[in-house]
Structure 1
């Protein structure tokens, strides 16, 4: 955090960007700080170019209040996710609007070097104040602790490495945590809902969990590694779905494996919703999975089963993490 990024400044930024509170009175009530204190901070932020005035509120009999909005040009961020054969990226402004997007093919099977090349290219061309990276791997405090399909990333303290190289704040996050976080931001939900997001993946399945509105990471940040679930006498969940071909109906074997997964989450977390990637399943597949799940657990306990826009929710999670970092560090 920079010296001028006081806790109140950060709170004001968050109210403006995430909660659409635009007047001194509204922000004062939300933050618990006095009207004069909030007013003083807003004026200081306006002078610094962080905040713009945007007219007055409609009159309700008294003096109309000045409306404030956060300046999108106050900072830029870069969000990228790493897949087996490509890195997809978006450059965003300070409120999360996409300014540029693209993809870079993995070069010579080296994911780490390709990531370095992408970041170096973007930072040479643009002023970027925060970076978020998503990866299909287990991540603990910015370190890749389990990435069998990404040997150049395995056991790499990626946040530390990138921050020391590029001198920009970096957040590294598991792909499923980003996706479920993005879904929670994109779809109207109650603050205390429990949501599970399931992706069968190119390199094996994973899940992300919002427990009562908060990301569930677990003791060693290994939450969601559903490949290992021993649903059958001699086979894991991954063994039963690994041959599923995207774009084709679920086999009976894959349908049963997903039904057992739904049942397990229902019995342990009792979530409101389980989201399946639109890349992996169709609406008919979901109907079959629900029907099969009813063999294992009473229908009254089952959550809503739905399809999610995988890439958009993934990016929305990365963008939200990036904006949160920008608001704390600019």
Structure 2
């Protein structure tokens, strides 16, 4: 969570967001430190810290050593003051975590798949978690489809969620701030965040998937969404005269043997690696460790050199999709949490 400086007129929500970010990032701080680092006046810092302390959002952790005057009070954020829920929908099951403002997991588990059911099942599940954790103030939902500002507009095989504004639905039904993200975008965010990669890093995170391949694309630290939020739908990438990537991975050339089909699969993925290398030239291409093993990774790397010079190939690596996915959703949920506004009567408002 990077520190944000405010150098112009700042709103109440900006001040609160920056105070939370700074305290969570540094663990503790004095009013003087916060005023200096955030470039917000000392009286403003004092006013907001007092409000946050009164509602139990921050607490004091002692006094600093004296430098000749009054000893400064040191403040810290209470990470369990607000909690978030990260939940991702898959064909086989629904995974979730409840986490605090430090990203620490309070509860983690899974339940049955809700993709083939109506959205009411998902709403009921989220409501049950909010009842168990009344201070749950953010929900981050991941879906295997293309998302435009909370609306799922491309999710093959799951008509109940097609053209559904899931963000609006959850917020209207449960009054919990919600963010909805494509699964591979969330995984790419989680992969970068977990490894604390720099802002200039570019990567391509590929999932072959149960419903066809998809990818999360990050360029210079930013998710690429595209004009119509269709970026990453790589199943449509044409690879052969009559087959796109989805068709090539599904049945190859109609090869009769398992070894022949595997060779065709390696070739199809290698062609995609070459395409991405030529167009994006990323630092990394990430595969899912339950889909690509070390032997296949080496075969893909070698085969890719048939199509693009070896020296331009990115680093090919494997990672745990579930871990990265949940971590990415938590990061998105944390962003929502630290932006929460709370009135003087301790009630949330948006």
Counterpart of 1:267 in structure 2 is 278
Deviates more, 1:254-263 or 1:109-118: 109-118
Q: 1:63 to 1:142 in 2, by over 3 A?
A: same
Deviates more, 1:317-326 or 1:67-76: 67-76
Counterpart of 1:85 in structure 2 is 92
Q: CA deviation at 1:108?
A: 9.6
Q: 1:108 to 1:307 in 2, by over 3 A?
A: closer
Q: 1:227 to 1:75 in 2, by over 3 A?
A: same
Counterpart of 2:191 in structure 1 is 183
Structural mapping, 1:287-302, within 5 Å:
287-302=298-313
Counterpart of 1:145 in structure 2 is 153
Q: Deviations over 1:59-92 (max 9, x none)?
A: 9999986543321121121111001132111111
Does the alignment pair 1:200 with 2:211? no
TM-score by length of 2: 0.84
Counterpart of 1:228 in structure 2 is 236
Counterpart of 1:22 in structure 2 is 28
Q: Distance in 2 between matches of 1:20 and 1:41?
A: 18
TM-score by length of 1: 0.89
Does the alignment pair 1:73 with 2:80? yes
Q: Distance in 1 between matches of 2:75 and 2:296?
A: 47
Q: CA deviation at 1:254?
A: 1.2
Counterpart of 1:6 in structure 2 is 13
Counterpart of 2:137 in structure 1 is 129
Does the alignment pair 1:96 with 2:96? no
**Aligned mate of 1:118, from 106, 115, 125:** 125
Q: CA deviation at 1:319?
A: 0.6
Does the alignment pair 1:159 with 2:167? yes
Q: CA deviation at 1:137?
A: 0.5
Deviates more, 1:128-137 or 1:23-32: 23-32
What CA RMSD, in Å, does the superposition of the two structures yield over aligned residues? Answer: 2.6
Q: CA deviation at 1:58?
A: 8.5
Q: 1:125 to 1:63 in 2, by over 3 A?
A: same
Q: CA deviation at 1:146?
A: 0.5
Q: 1:58 to 1:230 in 2, by over 3 A?
A: farther
Q: Is the 8 A contact 1:82 1:111 kept in 2?
A: no
Counterpart of 1:311 in structure 2 is 322
User: Unaligned regions of 5+ residues in structure 2, if any?
Assistant: 1-10, 253-257, 342-350
Deviates more, 1:51-60 or 1:196-205: 51-60
Q: CA deviation at 1:51?
A: 1.7
Q: Distance in 1 between matches of 2:310 and 2:69?
A: 55
Deviates more, 1:137-146 or 1:255-264: 255-264
Which of structures 1 and 2 has the bigger CA Rg? 2
Q: Is the 8 A contact 2:92 2:113 kept in 1?
A: yes
Q: 1:188 to 1:58 in 2, by over 3 A?
A: farther
Q: 1:292 to 1:30 in 2, by over 3 A?
A: farther
Q: Distance in 2 between matches of 1:108 and 1:173?
A: 15
Counterpart of 1:254 in structure 2 is 265
Q: CA deviation at 1:266?
A: 1.1
Q: Is the 8 A contact 2:91 2:210 kept in 1?
A: yes
Q: 1:67 to 1:149 in 2, by over 3 A?
A: farther
Q: Is the 8 A contact 1:143 1:159 kept in 2?
A: yes
Q: Is the 8 A contact 1:205 1:238 kept in 2?
A: yes
Q: 1:63 to 1:203 in 2, by over 3 A?
A: farther
Q: Deviations over 1:284-304 (max 9, x none)?
A: 211111111111111111111
SS of residue matched to 1:276: strand
Q: Is the 8 A contact 1:136 1:175 kept in 2?
A: yes
